[in-house]
Amino acid sequence: MKHTTRTTATALAALLMAAASAAACSSQASNAPSETTEPSAISVAVPGHPTLVAFLATQATGDDPSLLQITVLKSMNSQYSAAGLAVKIIDTSHATVAQITNFGYDWHLDPSIKVQADADARFAQAERVTSAPTTILLSPAGKELRRWNSMAESQDLAFALQRIGLTSKSS
């Protein structure tokens, strides 16, 4: 019995180490722009980084402000990511991961911009988001610093980022 328990414990430890190694490798690997994830916990912050979280209707068409907001987010990411800014897009159009798989590619998003499905609106409800676009600036600790309940213009976002000490790469 002792031998079986030791063998089981050794196998379990090896399995856990393999899982940890795989997780470390995947976090170090460059994410493809089209990578999307399902919500796993009610947290939209990127721990340790100031984060711009944009709740957007990625399946919108025409002149929907969500589509305009994407251009502004790409600009903020380009200017402030070197200073530690993380940008995250959360889809509010109730699309599944499969439906938004190519979103990052289609919009030429930098791989550092994370796109997340929120088909059941868990994130939107947790963050009290009632319309798209809504953009929230979070502190590295996940505290809400500023919220835009409509289209957030680049000069407003840049000013808010500079107020928390971020500098653009063009500064």
Q: What would the pLDDT profile of 32-44 be if each residue is shown by its tens digit?
A: 333 334 433 446 7
Residue 108: the pLDDT is: 93
| CA torsion, ordered 110, 103, 93, 77, to nearest 10 deg | 10
| Band of residue 8 on the pLDDT scale cut at 50, 70, 90 | very low
Mean pLDDT to the nearest integer, 2-11: 44
The residue type of 50 is P
Highest mean pLDDT among 2-11, 53-62, 121-130, 148-157: 148-157
Q: Residue 19, Cβ neighbours under 10 Å: how many?
A: 10
pLDDT tens-digit series, residues 63-113: 788 888 999 999 999 999 999 999 999 999 888 888 888 898 889 999 999
| CA torsion, ordered 149, 155, 157, 161, to nearest 10 deg | -150
Q: In what order do the strands lie in the sheet with 114-116?
A: 36-37, 114-116, 86-91, 51-56, 134-138, 144-148
Token code pair at residue 156: 């407003």
Question: Which residue bears the tokens 């916990």?
Answer: 41
pTM of the model as a whole: 0.71
| Band of residue 12 on the pLDDT scale cut at 50, 70, 90 | very low
Q: Nearest to residue 157, comparing CAs of 127, 134, 141, 140?
A: 134
Start-to-end CA span in the chain (Å) = 67
| Band of residue 114 on the pLDDT scale cut at 50, 70, 90 | very high
pLDDT tens-digit series, residues 116-168: 888 888 888 888 999 899 999 999 998 999 999 999 999 999 999 999 999 99
